[in-house]
Amino acid sequence: MSREGLRRQLVHRSRGWDRGIGSDGRGRSLGGVTARVNVLHTGYADDRVASTVTLIRDGEAVIVVDPGMVADRSSILGPLVAAGVEPEDVTDVVISHHHPDHTVNIALFPNARVHDFMATYEGDVWTDHDEGDFAVSESVRLVATPGHTDEDVTTVVETADGVVVLTHLWWSAEGPAEDPFATDRDVLRTSRQSVLALKPVTVIPGHGEPFSPDDSTPV
Which three-class secondary structure string do you get for the chain? CCHHHHHCCCCCCCCCCCCCECECCCCCEECCECCEEEEEECCEECCCEECCEEEEEECCEEEEECCCCCCCCHHHHHHHHHCCCCHHHCCEEECCCCCHHHCCCHHHCCCCEEECCCEEEECCEEEECCCCCEEEECCEEEEECCCCCCCCEEEEEEECCEEEEECCCCCECCECCCCCCCCCHHHHHHHHHHHHCCCCCEEECCCCCCECCCCCCCC
- The total domain count for the chain is 1
Domain extent at residue 178: 3-122+132-204
Note the pLDDT tens digit of each residue in 56-97.
Answer: 999 999 999 999 999 999 999 999 999 999 999 999 999 999
> Is position 138 within any domain?
yes
> Is position 215 within any domain?
no
> Is position 197 within any domain?
yes
For residue 172, what is the domain's CATH number?
3.60.15.10
What is the chain's pLDDT, residue by residue, as a tens digit (219 residues)? 333 433 333 233 333 444 466 644 444 444 456 799 999 999 999 999 999 999 999 999 999 999 999 999 999 999 999 999 999 999 999 999 999 999 999 999 999 999 999 999 999 999 999 999 999 999 999 999 999 999 999 999 999 999 999 999 999 999 999 999 998 999 999 999 999 999 999 999 999 999 999 999 999
